[in-house]
Amino acid sequence: MTLKHLVAAATVALAVQTAPVLAQDAAIDAMQEYMMFSEYEAGIILPQQIDQTVFETALFVDTRDAGQFEEGTIPRAVNIEWREVLDRIDEIPEDRMTILFCNTGSLSAQAAFALRVAGRSNVVVMQSGFTGWQQDAAYRP
């Protein structure tokens, strides 16, 4: 093996090793940028803020699993499990408010964070989730 081949092999090996680190750094940078420049209450909505106008114009995404979705959900909500939001990002419109919810807001908060880091500023998480909507929504059809 010539010196030229050894240098080429070493370069490829180094590139393969550093690619995941660079990707990880880019992801961390994106999350940090989002967190540093978001307003304190950015990305959330309370059930009390969901009046008839919000209800009729927003898309509701139930981030719970299919079994929970089948047991009951917000009318007209679509089911995209929280782990799948980035895989199914094309199903989430960019041109209107999208409200993500789960039972209490914890899983949907993770999904909303991922989507917002991915550039979807129209996505909000409903604090207190489906339970809170059942108890406190300003409008329920």
Q: What is the rounded CA–CA span in Å between residue 23 and residue 35?
A: 19
Quote the mean pLDDT of the chain.
82
Q: Determine the straight-line distance between the first and last CA of the chain, rounded to whole angstroms.
A: 75
Q: Which CATH class is domain 44-136?
A: alpha beta
pLDDT in tens, 59-102: 999 999 999 999 999 999 999 999 999 999 999 999 999 999 99
87's tokens = 């895989």
Q: What is the pTM for the complete model shown?
A: 0.74
The alpha helices in 1-141, defined as continuous H runs, are 3-37, 52-57, 66-71, 106-117, 129-136
Instruction: Write down the pLDDT at residue 31.
Output: 53
Instruction: Write down the pLDDT at residue 91.
Output: 97
* CA dihedral sign of residues 91, 92, 98, 104: positive
